[in-house]
Amino acid sequence: MKQVSLATTGFELVTKRTRKRVFLDEMNLVVPWTELVGLIQPFAPSGAGAKGGRPAFAVETMLRIHFLQQWFGLSDPAMEESLHDTPLYCEFARLDPGATRLPDESTILRFRHLLEANNLSLQIMAAINATLTKRGLLLKTGTVVDATLIAAPSSTKNSSGERDPEMHQTKKGNQWHFGMKAHIGVDADSGLVHTVIGTAANVNDVTQGHGLLHGQEAVVFADAGYQGAAKRAEATGVDWHVAMRPGKRRALDKNSPWGKLLDQAEQLKASVRAKVEHPFRVVKCQFGFTKVRYKGLAKNTAQLVTLFALSNLWMVRKRIIQGTLA
């Protein structure tokens, strides 16, 4: 008779604290679940379907699954399989891994569509940022703006035989890129994202600059791509500190007092602008989002908003946990 492993009975003697488990335990503590579930609940189906189908899964369960997708770069089918293969994911989603019914890819897809149809990703970010503001982690005195390219599939070997018409190509340096741009406005003190705009890759950064402001800042920092932002028709009177163009900075005479002062001023502005690179690093390197998953700007922008909202929590998770335990 084959001996039954304790691991299959739920009585594991040793549970290693893997990095993935530590990550999920930390995020479980810092995500404001009650507030987010309250936002989504009015739009979610309840009870059995109109034709007497199976009861819907709890909103919190589906939201937890949705966040797992963002953190680990999982498509809807991959998320369904992971729920069956990875007990840790079921544990995080408050599901019994031995249950006869787990959310399938269609259920996961419908929940994402529910968020997109009701523009709930923006409300999720607003709720998370409101929580961070109450804790004194998100100030509103200054903003840093920037944009990054997100690749999209450039192949035409698909059912339609064409690229996504809402994506475009642009040249950066000597290299061409096809996809979209994620424009973000970041708190100049903490580096936390407060505004996200998604556009095609060929949209000039300066055209989106004023849309990235929340309206309460007194000063804005930006790289050389935002030259002329203060002179645009939509300018609101805030003080723009835009980087000097690289060629002009290289031409400075750093041996002269004036040239030296100008170079030092550029270094100070660069030290503030560096804050905007942190959310990009989290989304691209920590969460693995380097290529769009869906077709069209609206769906991908909704995902980006959620990703940057979650990146805010990840960046300050230690401070939140320490404050909660203190």
- How far is 120 from 128, CA to CA, in rounded Å? 12
Contact 141, 218 (CB under 8 A): yes
154 and 278, same domain (yes or no): yes
SS3 60: helix
Contact 183, 199 (CB under 8 A): yes
Q: How many domains does the chain have?
A: 2
* Residue 150 included in any domain: yes
Please say which residue of 83, 117, 151 terminates a domain.
117
Please say which residue of 117, 147, 170 terminates a domain.
117
* Residue 284 included in any domain: yes
* Residue 312 included in any domain: no
149 and 225, same domain (yes or no): yes
Bridge-based pairing of strands 168-172 and 142-151 is: unpaired
DSSP for 69-135, written as a single string: HHHHT--HHHHHHHHHH-HHHHHHTT--TT-S----HHHHHHHHHHHHHTTHHHHHHHHHHHHHHHT
- How far is 180 from 202, CA to CA, in rounded Å? 8
- How far is 193 from 182, CA to CA, in rounded Å? 12
- Identify the CA nearest to 184 among candidates 102, 282, 107, 56: 282
* Residue 59 included in any domain: yes
* Residue 319 included in any domain: no
47 and 100, same domain (yes or no): yes
145 and 94, same domain (yes or no): no
253 and 148, same domain (yes or no): yes
- How far is 220 from 230, CA to CA, in rounded Å? 10
176 and 109, same domain (yes or no): no
* Residue 205 included in any domain: yes
* Residue 305 included in any domain: no
Can you read off the two tokens belonging to residue 233?
């028709």
* Residue 131 included in any domain: no
Can you read off the two tokens belonging to residue 224?
């050389």
Sign of CA dihedral 194, 195, 201, 204: negative
146 and 111, same domain (yes or no): no
pLDDT for res 254: 84
Across the 326 residues of the chain, what is the mean pLDDT of every consecutive 10-residue run?
Answer: 48 71 96 96 74 80 97 96 94 85 94 96 96 89 94 82 90 91 95 96 95 93 93 87 90 88 90 94 95 94 97 95 73
pLDDT for res 274: 94
- How far is 221 from 273, CA to CA, in rounded Å? 6
261 and 152, same domain (yes or no): yes
Contact 317, 132 (CB under 8 A): no
267 and 187, same domain (yes or no): yes
Contact 227, 248 (CB under 8 A): no
For residue 226, what are the domain limits? 139-296
151 and 261, same domain (yes or no): yes
Please say which residue of 117, 148, 176 terminates a domain.
117
Give Cβ neighbours of residue 177 (< 8 Å, ≥ 6 apart). Answer: 149, 151, 169, 170, 171, 201
288 and 151, same domain (yes or no): yes
61 and 170, same domain (yes or no): no
Contact 238, 213 (CB under 8 A): yes
Give Cβ neighbours of residue 178 (< 8 Å, ≥ 6 apart). Answer: 151, 152, 154, 163, 167, 168, 169, 201
pLDDT for res 1: 44
